[in-house]
Amino acid sequence: MGIAETDIDHLSDALDGGARLIDVREPDEYRDGHVPGAVLVPLATVPDQLEQFRGDGPTYVICRSGGRSMQACEIAADHGIDVVNVSGGTLAWATSGRPITAGDEPA
Among the options 24, 38, 63, 83, which is catalytic? 63
CA 34 – CA 7 distance, rounded (Å): 16
In 1-107, beta strands by DSSP E: 4-6, 20-23, 39-40, 59-62, 83-86
Q: Is 73 a catalytic residue?
A: no
Instruction: State the catalytic residues.
Output: 63
